[in-house]
Amino acid sequence: MSYIKPEDWIPADGFTLEPAAEIAVRNEMNNLILAGPGAGKTELLAQRACFLLQTNLCPSPQKILAISFKTDAAENLKKRVELRCGKELAARFESRTFDSFAKQLLDRFRLGIPESYRPEKEYSLVFTPREIRDIATGYIKERHPNRPNWQYEINFNILYKRLSEENLPIFEDGQDIYSWVLVRLWDILVHGTGKLQSTLTFPMISKLADYLLQVNPLIKRALQLTYSHVFLDEFQDTTYLQYELVKTIFQGTSTILTSVGDDKQRIMGWAGALPDSFEQFKRDFNAGQIELTQNHRSAPRLIEIQNVLAKIINQNATDARVSNQHSDQKGLCQVWNFHTYLDEATFVATSIASRIQQENISPRDICILVKQQEQIYGNAVINELERLGIHARIEKEYQDLISEECVQLIIDFIRLATGEKTHDSWVRVSEVLIFVNGYDLEHDHIKILNMESNLSDHIQKLKIELQQLPNDEDLCKQGISEMVKGIFNFVGLKKIFRLHPKYASGSYFKQTTTEAVKKLTIAYLKHLDWNSSISDFLGLFSIPIMTIHKSKGLEYDTVIFLGLEDDAFWSFNTQKLEDMCAFFVALSRAKKQCFFTFSASRETSRFGDVQIRAQSNNSISTLYQLLQNANVEVLDVSVV
């Protein structure tokens, strides 16, 4: 392999980087990169990876570890690095989520954990305080000498948090009832008892990985030697546990860390994001700070408004600059006021329809955002759009499903059998088969040829099955379900579970595939053609409706935010900064147009009851004031 001299390296694929981004890509110190919305954080990290790999500044065989928050963000980054610098170099780029990194450490080095905290090889995952409550109350049989009714004394949300907050090993503190419960709960969870299998939460996994490294300096040293560089994406959302793990491994070592984030998009405080992660990182890692100011996404008018808001969230925020590609278009932002949510639905649907017809944009370029309860806030607009022949859907029901590896495998097989987009699907399916069977590309030619021939046979069989699917809903679903089973049996169910351990325990795999079969059946019966059905399933024909939280990292030509109202921002007074950040995230998803709606009456859900409630905007007057300061037009919209 021949490497490029650092001074001769230029950004891959003709990208031009702003001067600060060039510095960030080439710098060899620990750095915090502050980058606002649309600054191109993913591209920056991909280019930096290429720079380090192509110049061998990440010296072979050392690797780069990139940690992202969402699985799709980690995959997206990995794909971009492969595209920019080829598969061979990209093999030394490990892109993961925090959870998968910690889980991989635990699974690989489990035996290095002291026996008292060592989980079984196969453990289940639980996710909620409620599940932890059920385990604590159901399985702690020992009686507390003085507090026989401890179950009624403790708050299970606090117990859930403390389960992963306390340093291991945990010791009993006679004064603190929680410590008594925690000692017993950890023991039951890691070892299992009776019918309960060894069971962990993801925060516990992070804690165990941290403990493992504290007591095994050699494993820690091995990790430091493996990774010459570490990237931490969306650093504003890093939690205490995640940051502790990074510190345990890399603080004070020669591994170079690059953290990228935007404090104005910190909207995961409720999930434990550190409020001062940037300052801590700069202090703990003696890191420099580089600030990117270009916004490649939004039109000038939208950036103008974002800059006003950014200054209110952080008075030191630097103004973002418009990218050249937007110099010919202005951009539009308005507030639309309505009397009722039905007027709102009619107007929003009609505006969308005319934009799609007149400007030839795809439904997928438009996004409807809400603060919460997307089913309720979006219901009337969905119906009105449907009346105009435009499909909109609650994206949450699909977003996570589509990013599941087992669902991607099903889609690739269907594409292969129906002749659409076959090249990429063939490569992806072959890679899975080669990997799960442990074939070596250099030495196992015959085995790989045999595997490919078996794959072709299976695809032929699948093709016939797909052609013979009945139109009756139940029979069609049954047929698709059989076909999916056939795909998994062909690859080997146990091999799939080994490749993706999250499917191996509990009912997660079954739930995921059942849901995929259900949704594929609906899509197929609508189109009776697999090309359109898959596009439909992937959402290419629908307007997505989602919460601001789910829209992080995404971008759309037009964003319509429904319900800039007190009910939607019900906790604005107690979490002003976080809600302002949420508002900023919503505004900054738009490339060209962004609209906010207010309706004087709206269907909302209170304690499970859907009722029509009068709406106000007094509590969130700060947000309206801000739009006014940025000269955003407010239209009282009568029904068209």
In the complex, the residues that contact ligand ATP under the rule CB under 6 A are 15-17, 35, 37-43, 262, 265, 296-297, 553, 555, 588
Strands 321-322 and 124-125: unpaired
Cβ proximity to ligand ATP, 25 vs 459, nearer residue? 25
CB count within 10 Å of CB 98 equals 24
Residue 88 CB-density burial (10 A; 0-12 exposed, 13-18 middle, 19+ buried): exposed
Q: To the nearest whole angstrom, how small is the minimum distance from the Cβ of residue 298 to ligand ATP?
A: 9
At residue 297's C-alpha, the angle toward residues 296 and 298, to 5°, is 115
Q: To the nearest whole angstrom, how small is the minimum distance from the Cβ of residue 367 to ligand ATP?
A: 13
Annotated binding-site positions for ATP: 35-42
8 A C-beta contact, residue 265 and residue 578 = no
Cβ proximity to ligand ATP, 47 vs 351, nearer residue? 47
Cβ proximity to ligand ATP, 118 vs 549, nearer residue? 549
Cβ proximity to ligand ATP, 15 vs 570, nearer residue? 15
Q: To the nearest whole angstrom, how small is the minimum distance from the Cβ of residue 37 to ligand ATP?
A: 3
Q: To the nearest whole angstrom, how small is the minimum distance from the Cβ of residue 159 to ligand ATP?
A: 35
Q: How far is CA 609 from the centre of its chain?
A: 30
Peptide bond before residue 169 is cis, with ω within 30 degrees of 0: yes
Which residue, judged by CB position, is nearest to ligand ATP in the bound state?
40
Question: What sign for the dihedral angle of Cα 191, 193, 197, 203?
Answer: negative
CA–CA gap between residue 101 and residue 112 (Å, rounded): 17
CA–CA gap between residue 291 and residue 298 (Å, rounded): 18
Taking only Cα atoms into account, the Rg of the chain, rounded to an integer number of angstroms, comes to 26
Distances (CA, A) of 563 to 151, 175, 207, 414, 594: 41, 48, 40, 40, 13
Give the CB-side neighbour count of residue 252, counting CA atoms within 13 A: 4
Residue 350 CB-density burial (10 A; 0-12 exposed, 13-18 middle, 19+ buried): middle
Cβ proximity to ligand ATP, 40 vs 129, nearer residue? 40
Cβ proximity to ligand ATP, 52 vs 189, nearer residue? 52
Q: To the nearest whole angstrom, how small is the minimum distance from the Cβ of residue 296 to ligand ATP?
A: 3
Tokens of 439: 């074939």
Classify 327 as helix, strand or coil.
coil
Annotated binding-site positions: 35-42
Q: To the nearest whole angstrom, how small is the minimum distance from the Cβ of residue 520 to ligand ATP?
A: 29
Cβ proximity to ligand ATP, 41 vs 415, nearer residue? 41
CA–CA gap between residue 65 and residue 79 (Å, rounded): 14
Rounded (to 5) percent helix, strand, coil in the chain: 55, 15, 30
Q: To the nearest whole angstrom, how small is the minimum distance from the Cβ of residue 321 to ligand ATP?
A: 12
Cβ proximity to ligand ATP, 92 vs 297, nearer residue? 297
The phi, psi pair for 558, rounded to 5°, reads -130, 135
Q: To the nearest whole angstrom, how small is the minimum distance from the Cβ of residue 47 to ligand ATP?
A: 8
Contacts 24+ apart (CB under 8 A), 143-148: 144/177, 144/180, 147/177, 147/180
Cβ proximity to ligand ATP, 42 vs 179, nearer residue? 42
Q: To the nearest whole angstrom, how small is the minimum distance from the Cβ of residue 581 to ligand ATP?
A: 12
Q: To the nearest whole angstrom, how small is the minimum distance from the Cβ of residue 239 to ligand ATP?
A: 19
Contacts 24+ apart (CB under 8 A), 456-460: 458/486, 458/487, 458/490, 459/413, 459/416, 459/417, 460/417
Cβ proximity to ligand ATP, 544 vs 553, nearer residue? 553
